[in-house]
């Protein structure tokens, strides 16, 4: 035996190093490799939220876009970026692999961030002194701003599904100790990401509002460059998953649905014994049938391919029931920020807290409660349930949905208080004036949303990764991100529909530019009601869910 070749007992099955060679378990993967990848994620979240958290202020301020249009732009941009993760996962799993897709996406990210900094070199102006003429941003600034957002959105599509999946790839499911580490990985992954957000939002929001937008966008660009360098430094320690099949995993799943449609007339008695016990989605079992007519081009799938397709379908059912939760999730960076901008945000030293920085409360809550969840809740729950993770992923997701519903009820009550205070102080027609109500009133809704994320968002990440086949590991996080993305798109659509339905005949919309005349309280109550219906649908689907082992 070649002395340079490690013993099979010391290697990781199904993984190789960056040069395609077998690698030693002791010198590769696990937390040492995952740390580089988590470091990259911290920098990326710092950059993304440094831009996104205050984006609505940038659009309504320097770019002079109306509040409704700005909220729709933020939601569409955020939603499209997340939906593009499905395409990024396809490219990664079918062609380039996760590592190279991350590299390409990072380069696109840096180009987009650089272009955004360049766009601020063309300041917005009010060309004429005539005050009746509305302000407008130069066309070049608008073009550069939206082009940069497009590049960042494309980068998100390749980056988000691959980085998390690549981090989880560093732990071997076949090794009991590493399998236990992987369960904690998703908690600490989100802990690291939210730590970056906690630092980013107040720091960058302050720089943007008090120093300059160029500096405010330049800091995220520098952070992303640093994270990319950190990621590259870990290359020699990474585990690269070996594909189990030469066929594209997307093609395999697609073949199952095509074959089951072709064989839809087949009798259940002709389906193999190995599949007869698979009662869920039995129509897909027909993909394994060999057609009796020998002249017909047979499309026959293996049992494992059918199970892959069923796993994807199960996830998509859960995906559909979480749409309202993700609409609530998308309010943090839009209406919550606009609410905060109207309140008294001064603290004892006279310092004014930037409105967008309040979103850091969500991430701070997540950072605190993830530690509590992993180190306190899980051990206690494990003694009761016997589950190594404390509770199942679906139980964790459902718990967060309940908390999210409560957060919308609280947000509605706080908004009623804000509107009442504005009325009492005759500020309804003075949107430029600060309402004498402390920003602390908004803290409960931010904390509740953060707590909901600890349960639902983290649980959903683990669920989507674990419930797909090995060759589709990038698809799991992509499906998770697409859920959040669809929520942003649906939020934009819902706002547009309500805006059109509530204005006219002398009535103001629920979302006028003057927030003191708006009815966000009604909107939040509507989301709470929809959340209840969504939770009922989730319970129905979760009850029949079959975990893919």
Q: What is the pLDDT of residues 128-159, one digit of tens each?
A: 444 444 555 667 778 888 888 889 988 988 88
Would you say 80 and 485 are in contact if contact means Cβ atoms under 8 Å apart?
A: yes
Judgement on whether residues 226 and 293 belong to the same structural domain of the protein: no
Please indicate whether residue 177 or residue 168 has the higher confidence score (pLDDT): 168
- Residue range 530-540: mean pLDDT, rounded: 93
What's the domain count of the chain? 3
The predicted model gives 308-337 an average pLDDT of: 83
Same domain, 324 and 235: no
Domain end point (choices 210, 225, 244): 244
Beta carbons within 8 Å of 201's beta carbon, 6+ residues apart: 49, 50, 53, 54, 356, 357, 359, 360, 363
Out of 244, 266, 285, a domain closes at 244
pLDDT-based confidence at residue 222 (cuts at 50, 70, 90): very high
**Whether residues 431 and 314 fall in one domain:** yes
Q: Quick one: tokens of 188?
A: 């600490």
Distance CA 4, CA 300 (A): 43
pLDDT of residue 276: 46
Q: Does residue 451 fall inside a structural domain? A: yes
- Given this model, what pLDDT does residue 506 score? 59
Distances in Å between the alpha carbon of 214 and those of 46, 204, 406? 16, 11, 39
Given this model, what pLDDT does residue 504 score? 67
Is the pLDDT confidence value at 293 over 70? Answer: no
- Residue 544 falls inside a structural domain: yes
What mean pLDDT value characterizes the chain?
80
Mean of pLDDT values over 313-340: 84
Residue 377 lies inside a defined structural domain of this protein: yes
Q: Residue 123 pLDDT more than 60?
A: no
Question: 192 and 207 share a domain?
Answer: yes
Same domain, yes or no: 267 and 236:
no
Same domain, 432 and 530: yes
Highest mean pLDDT among 156-160, 202-206, 395-399 belongs to 395-399
Q: Can you give the pLDDT at residue 129?
A: 43
Is the domain of 90 the same as that of 114?
Answer: yes
pLDDT band, very low/low/confident/very high, at 524 (cuts 50, 70, 90): very high
Lowest-confidence pick of 33-47, 172-186, 273-287, 297-311? 273-287
Least confident of 110-119, 149-158, 175-184, 495-504: 175-184
Q: What is the pLDDT of residue 124?
A: 52
Q: Partners of 15 in the beta sheet?
A: 241
Q: Do residues 542 and 470 share a domain?
A: yes
Q: Tell me the two tokens of residue 271.
A: 């389906």
Question: How distant, in Å, are the alpha carbons of 11, 82, 396, 458, 546 from that of 534?
Answer: 46, 21, 16, 19, 20
**What is the average pLDDT across 48-54?**
79
Give the mean model confidence (pLDDT) for residues 50-74.
Answer: 78
Indicate which CATH number applies to the domain containing 161.
1.20.1250.20
* 528 band by pLDDT with thresholds 50, 70 and 90: very high
* Whether residues 220 and 258 fall in one domain: no
Give me the domain span that covers residue 542.
310-548
Helix (H), strand (E) counts: the chain: 19, 4
Same domain as 161, residue 213: yes
The position carrying tokens 């718990």 is 399
Task: Note whether 492 and 72 are within 8 A (CB).
Answer: yes
Is 354 a residue whose pLDDT tops 50?
Answer: yes
Does one domain contain both 255 and 193?
A: no
Give residue-wise pLDDT tens across range 152-165.
988 988 888 888 88
- Structure-model confidence comparison of residues 97 and 481, the more confident one: 97
Query: Looking at the domain assignment, is residue 285 inside a domain?
Result: yes
Same domain? For 232 and 286 the reply is: no
The conformational region for residue 506 under phi > 0 = left, psi -120 to 50 = alpha, else beta, is left
8 within domain boundaries: no
440 versus 307: the higher-pLDDT residue is 440
CB 155 within 8 A of CB 464: no
- Which secondary structure element, helix H or strand E, spans residue 437, and what is its range? strand 435-438
Is pLDDT larger for residue 105 or for residue 78?
Answer: 105
Residue 42 within a domain: yes
End-to-end CA separation in angstroms for the chain? 36
For residues 419-437, average pLDDT: 85
Q: What is the pTM (predicted TM-score) of this model?
A: 0.70
3-state secondary structure of 289: coil
Mean pLDDT of 102-106: 92
- What confidence score (pLDDT) does residue 133 get? 46
Q: Decide the pairing of beta strands 343-344 and 435-438.
A: parallel
Confirm whether 367 is domain-assigned.
yes
369-384, pLDDT tens digit by residue? 888 888 888 888 888 8
Please provide residue 240's backbone torsions phi and psi, each rounded to the nearest 5 degrees: -110, 120
Tokens for 118? 């360049």
Of residues 361, 281, 366, the one with CA closest to residue 316: 281
- Buried/exposed 48-68: b ≥16 CB within 10 Å, e otherwise: bbbbbbbbbbbbbbbbbbebb
The last residue of a domain, from among 198, 215, 244? 244
Is a pLDDT exceeding 50 seen at residue 81?
yes
In a domain, 461, yes or no: yes
Work out the number of other CB atoms within 10 angstroms of the CB of residue 307: 17
Indicate the angle between helix axes 213-233 and 30-52, nearest 10 degrees. 170
Q: Of the ranges 23-32, 98-107, 358-367, which one carries the lowest mean pLDDT score? A: 23-32
């Amino acid at each position: 035996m070649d002395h340079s070749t490690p013993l099979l007992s010391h290697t990781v099955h199904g993984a190789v190093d960056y040069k395609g060679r077998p690698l030693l378990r002791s010198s590769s993967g696990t937390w040492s490799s995952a740390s580089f990848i988590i470091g990259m994620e911290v920098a990326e979240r710092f950059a993304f939220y440094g831009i996104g958290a205050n984006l609505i202020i940038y659009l309504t301020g320097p770019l002079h876009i109306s509040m409704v249009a700005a909220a729709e732009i933020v939601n569409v941009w955020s939603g499209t970026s997340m939906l593009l993760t499905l395409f990024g996962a396809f490219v990664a799993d079918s062609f380039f692999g996760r590592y190279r897709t991350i590299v390409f996406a990072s380069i696109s990210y840096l180009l987009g961030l650089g272009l955004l900094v360049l766009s601020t070199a063309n300041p917005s102006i009010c060309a004429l002194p005539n005050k009746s003429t509305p302000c407008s941003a130069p066309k070049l600034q608008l073009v550069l701003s939206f082009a940069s957002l497009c590049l960042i959105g494309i980068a998100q599509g390749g980056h988000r599904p691959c980085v998390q999946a690549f981090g989880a790839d560093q732990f071997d499911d076949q090794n009991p100790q590493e399998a236990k580490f992987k369960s904690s990985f998703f908690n600490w992954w989100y802990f690291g990401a939210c730590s970056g957000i906690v630092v980013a939002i107040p720091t960058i929001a302050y720089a943007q509002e008090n120093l300059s937008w160029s500096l405010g966008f330049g800091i995220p660009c520098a952070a992303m460059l640093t994270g990319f360098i950190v990621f590259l430094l870990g290359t020699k320690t990474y585990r690269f998953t070996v594909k189990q099949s030469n066929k594209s995993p997307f093609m395999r799943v697609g073949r199952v649905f095509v074959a089951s449609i072709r064989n839809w007339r087949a009798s259940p008695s002709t389906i193999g014994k190995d599949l007869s016990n698979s009662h869920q989605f039995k129509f897909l079992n027909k993909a394994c049938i060999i057609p009796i007519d020998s002249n017909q081009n047979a499309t026959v799938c293996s049992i494992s391919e059918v199970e892959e397709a069923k796993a994807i379908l199960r996830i998509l059912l859960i995906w559909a029931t979480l749409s309202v939760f993700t609409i609530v999730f998308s309010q943090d960076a839009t209406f919550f920020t606009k609410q905060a901008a109207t309140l008294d945000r001064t603290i004892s030293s006279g310092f004014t807290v930037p409105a967008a920085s309040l979103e850091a409360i969500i991430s701070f809550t997540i950072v605190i409660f993830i530690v509590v969840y992993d180190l306190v809740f899980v051990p206690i729950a494990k003694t009761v349930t016997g589950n190594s993770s404390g509770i199942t992923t679906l139980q964790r997701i459902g718990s967060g949905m309940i908390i999210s519903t409560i957060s919308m009820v609280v947000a509605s009550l706080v908004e009623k208080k804000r509107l009442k205070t504005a009325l009492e102080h005759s500020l309804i027609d003075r949107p430029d004036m600060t309402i004498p109500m402390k920003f602390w009133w908004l803290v409960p809704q931010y904390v509740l949303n953060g707590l909901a994320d600890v349960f639902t968002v983290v649980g959903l990440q683990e669920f989507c990764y674990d419930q797909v086949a090995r060759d589709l590991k990038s698809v799991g996080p992509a499906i998770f991100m697409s859920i959040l993305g669809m929520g942003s798109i649906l939020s934009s659509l819902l706002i547009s529909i309500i805006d059109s339905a509530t204005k006219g005949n002398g009535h103001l919309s629920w979302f006028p530019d003057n927030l003191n005349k708006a009815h966000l309280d009604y909107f939040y109550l509507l989301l709470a009601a929809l959340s209840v219906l969504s939770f009922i649908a989730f319970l129905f689907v979760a009850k029949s869910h079959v975990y893919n082992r």
